[in-house]
Amino acid sequence: MHVPEPDDEAVEVDEIEPLRRALEEERQRNLRLLADFDNFRRRVTREQEVARREGRRAALLPLLPVVDTLERALATGSVDPDFYQGVAATHRLFLAALREAGAEPVESVGQPFDPKVHDAVSTVPAAGVEPGTVVREIRRGWRLGDELLRPAQVVVATSPEVARPWR
């Protein structure tokens, strides 16, 4: 047990209040640091996920025009059925690989126009479909999980009465 000596009593007693305050401050600082650390850890877990998605996005985006080009080539057809079939098989493999890489095509034709995933490049008066329905896809859109990789470019139906007859 500490036995106070007459000389140091006054000094030590004066120290008690500042010591208590300093201790309380350090404890508060500790608690704040722990809370900051915890928040940072949580943020980091989210950011890892974002970074992984960014990596996928950066890898997939340049490849989408390659599918477009391959599809345009296939659309022209060929007089060489064997070669054509080989290329068509490669195209199916390409779509499957994109799905495996996490990319999913946006549904367009027959769907209601959705500005979150569709870019309307033009409209066309159309009978027999609900106005606002996508009637043609110019360029396929792609999603990556719940994010959009690129929007679909589409043609949207308007009511037939909106059409101005040719004079």
Chain residues that interact with a second copy, rule: CB under 8 A = 1-2, 4, 9-10, 12-17, 19-20, 22-23, 26-27, 29-30, 33-34, 36-37, 40-41, 44, 47-49, 51-63, 65-66, 69-70, 72-73, 76-80, 82-84, 86-87, 89-90, 93-94, 96-98, 100-103
Q: Which is nearer to a second copy, 100 or 161 (CB)?
A: 100
CB of 156 to a second copy, least distance (A): 29
Dmax (CA) for the chain in angstroms is 116
Q: Which is nearer to a second copy, 82 or 161 (CB)?
A: 82
Q: Which is nearer to a second copy, 16 or 127 (CB)?
A: 16
- How far apart (Å, rounded) are the C-alpha atoms in residues 38 and 31? 11
The helix or strand, by DSSP H or E, that contains position 44, with its residue range, turns out to be helix 6-60
CB of 143 to a second copy, least distance (A): 14
Name the residue type at position 56. Answer: R
Q: Which is nearer to a second copy, 12 or 130 (CB)?
A: 12
Tokens of 154: 């589409």
Distances (CA, A) of 52 to 48, 135, 150: 6, 35, 18
Q: How many CA atoms are closer than 13 Å to the CA of 97, on its beta-carbon side?
A: 12
Strands 152-158 and 118-125: parallel
Q: Which is nearer to a second copy, 1 or 127 (CB)?
A: 1
- The alpha-carbon radius of gyration of the chain (Å, integer) is 33
CB of 39 to a second copy, least distance (A): 11
Tokens of 138: 């110019």
CB of 47 to a second copy, least distance (A): 6
CB of 63 to a second copy, least distance (A): 5
